[in-house]
Amino acid sequence: MVPNWESGFLLRKKRGRVTTPRGKLGRKGGAPRAKMEIDVCPRWLLAKVRIPGQSQHHVALLVSTLLALSLAPIVTHVPHICLMRKVLGIACPGCGITHSIIAILRLNPVMAWQANPAGFGVASAFCFQLLARPIAIVAPRTGDFVSQLSRHISNVALAFLLLVWISRVV
Ligand SMILES: [Zn+2]
């Protein structure tokens, strides 16, 4: 639990020995966040609807993923302005990702691959959130494991994204 180490950290600080707590905290009072996780849910809102503290992180990621997936078809209608392509003349790692994910949702893997092969990695990370977060909410014991696994999956997705980008640029 986060408050435990936080209070322990302060205690050690008071004694004059400043030690860095293990692990990086994505945001104050929250669980560590992976780079590919989408989290747009304010915690005060979750607290207001009486979501217990231990479940807030999982509820936030579940709601955010659902929101991202439902907004994806709208986003493709907005003209994509790629700053990287404009300035450097090369596509950014995220170019084609939204189209790729929508193609996956429409069960069109060929189109998804053509748009951006890394879409499969990102879609897998999304899929994991949709499947595992409800488990973590219902069974809080699994919460830490789910968060840990989520970090691994999102790191793999990110690595794949960069790999695809490098292969496209080179
Ligand atoms: Zn781009």
Mean of the per-residue pLDDT values of the chain: 83
CA of 125 to the centre of ligand 1 (A): 20
161 in the same domain as 105: yes
The Cα–Cα gap between 60 and 80 comes to 27
The Cα–Cα gap between 116 and 34 comes to 21
134 in the same domain as 75: yes
Which of 12-16, 40-44, 117-121, 124-128 shows the lowest mean pLDDT across its residues?
12-16
Residue 5 has pLDDT above 70, yes or no: no
Residue 60 has pLDDT above 50, yes or no: yes
Residue 96's domain comprises: 34-169
CA of 86 to the centre of ligand 1 (A): 9
In contact, 3 and 31? CB cutoff 8 Å? no
123 in the same domain as 99: yes
In degrees, rounded to 5, the angle at the alpha carbon of residue 115 between the alpha carbons of residues 158 and 131 is 50
In contact, 65 and 129? CB cutoff 8 Å? yes
124 in the same domain as 101: yes
CA of 31 to the centre of ligand 1 (A): 30
pLDDT for position 170 = 86
CA of 82 to the centre of ligand 1 (A): 4
CA nearest neighbour of 126 among 141, 112, 114: 112
For ligand 1, an ion, list residues with CB under 5 A: 82, 92, 95
pLDDT for position 30 = 52
Average pLDDT, integer, range 21-44: 65
153 in the same domain as 69: yes
24 in the same domain as 91: no
CA of 94 to the centre of ligand 1 (A): 5
Residue 133 has pLDDT above 90, yes or no: yes
What's the whole-model pTM score?
0.74
Highest-confidence segment of 26-30, 34-38, 145-149: 145-149
Overall number of domains in the chain? 2
More confident residue, 17 or 86: 86
How would you classify residue 139: left for phi > 0, otherwise alpha for psi between -120 and 50, otherwise beta?
beta
Average pLDDT, integer, range 121-142: 95
- Whose structure tokens read 């996780």? 37
Residue 21 has pLDDT above 50, yes or no: no
CA of 32 to the centre of ligand 1 (A): 27
CA of 54 to the centre of ligand 1 (A): 36
